[in-house]
Every structure is written in structure tokens, then in C-alpha cells.
Amino acid sequence: MWISLQSTNVIEMAAAHGLDTVIIDREHTSTGLRGVQDQVVAAQLGGMTALVRPSHIDPIEVARLLDLGADGIVFPMVSSVEDAQTAARAVRYPPHGTRGWAGAHARHVRWNSSLTSEDGSGVGSREFVTAANESVASIFMIESPSGVEQLEQILTVGRPDAVLFGWGDFLVQVDFDRERLAKARKQLYDTCRSQGIGLALSVTPPDGQDYYPGCFFSAGVDATLLSDAMRARMTEARSASIEPGSCGRRP
């Protein structure tokens, strides 16, 4: 589920209902780093995976999100091979990436209580760097015609764990051409499946695509779900019959 309401309470409710993963959004919200950290902690204490979408593909912002404990990054607007390369390197330590080492940070020391150990382990070790690189999830959002056109190369270079289709942005960029949207959706599905990369599938409305290993289901956006529930309850309340003189009490 997408989290846009900047509320740890919403995240706790999601955990109580058995949600597996939340995507905390910084691209289209005013959520600051402190707010993200609170939400990440709430999600992880609730037994969920905490992913974060940064404001843009920025290695510095990504490093800070990972340092505060995010389990993975959902990269917005991956539209070129260069974007894919930048994203792939942002979530990894050198020599495979550009992430700055912050082993002394409290969120990293949980991996091992000491910076260095007699056997050379701990966060000040090659083992820690390898484990950290392998544990971070990387998800690419394809949201533009350019991203769709270069999809095969983007996936080959960036090798994300999964892909999300940002159909809203794509639809705006193709001037609301629904036929082109349908073709792009099918291309994403076919290409991701052929390369063994998971794809986000929609529950409501169902998108008619078959599940394959690596895919995951999106339960929607917290604000939309709350709005729908509020609208339904208000409609019910307004339609309730109230007799004159009852002071607002139903008989």
C-alpha cells in the first residue's frame, strides 16, 4: 500500500490488517526525513517491509533514506539507461555503487553490535557491505514513453527487483491516448516476465494480468482508501431518515 498521509497510525492499522509492505511517498508529499524515519520504524515494528519513494533519482537522498533504515527504494521516473545506472549504483556501496558508508549509524549497527570484531566481521567489513547490498530492494517506476521505449535496456542495466507502471504520468504524457496506454502496459508485462523481474499488479480495478513469481499486488493508496470509506459512510449518514422533532436522533 502507498502511504501518503504521513501517519504512523495508518501504518499501524495496515499492519494490524496483515499488510506485507508499505511504500512511503516523498515525491508527492511534504514528508521530511524525520517523518520518514518514524514511519519506517512503525512499519518494521509492525512486521512489514518499509520501502520509500524519494523525490527524484538522487543518490544523496537515497543514501540518507537507506541510512535511516528503509528496506528499499522505489525510484520514480526511470526513463533512460542513465537513470537506471544511477539508481542501481545509489543503493550499493563501492565498488559496485556510490552509497557512502555509514556503518557507525545506529540503524546499521543493529546488523552487528561492534564496528570491528577480532575475526574481521562487524559493520566495518566486506561481509557487512555485501549483506547490505544484497538486502536492499530496488524498484523502478516506468512512467514515460521514453521509459517504455528503453525498457529492455533499462531492466538489463539496472536489474531492479520489481517494476511499477506509473500509468497516470504516462497517460498525461501521451495526451490521454488509452490505446497507447494499453500497449505500454502489455509491453511492460511481457518484458518483465521474460526477464524474470516482478511487476506490480492492480487489485482494484483488476488489470487482467496473470501472476507470475516475483509479482506483487498493490492494495492502493491510503488517502484514496480513506476517502472512499468516508464517502460511503457520509452517503449512508445523509440517506438516513430523520423524523421532524427527533433532534437528530433516528427512531
In this predicted model, what pLDDT tens digit does every residue of 162-205 receive, in sequence order? 999 999 999 999 999 999 999 999 999 999 999 999 999 988 77
Per-residue DSSP letter, 161: S
The pLDDT of residue 124? 72
Cell of 106: 545506529
The pLDDT of residue 70? 94
- pTM of the predicted model over 0.85: yes
Cell of 62: 537515497
Q: Where are the beta strands (DSSP E) in 55-187?
A: 72-75, 137-142, 162-165
The pLDDT of residue 107? 60
The pLDDT of residue 229? 95
CATH label, 2-239, candidates 3.40.50.1820, 3.20.20.60, 3.20.20.140, 3.40.50.11030: 3.20.20.60
Q: Can you tell me the distance from the alpha carbon of 21 to that of 48, in angstroms, rounded to the nearest whole number?
A: 5
Nearest alpha-carbon partner for 132 in 155, 112, 148:
112
Per-residue DSSP letter, 137: E
Q: Helices (DSSP H) in 5-135: which residue ranges?
A: 8-16, 33-45, 59-67, 81-90, 106-109, 126-135
Which parts of the chain register pLDDT below 50?
Answer: 251
The pLDDT of residue 181? 96
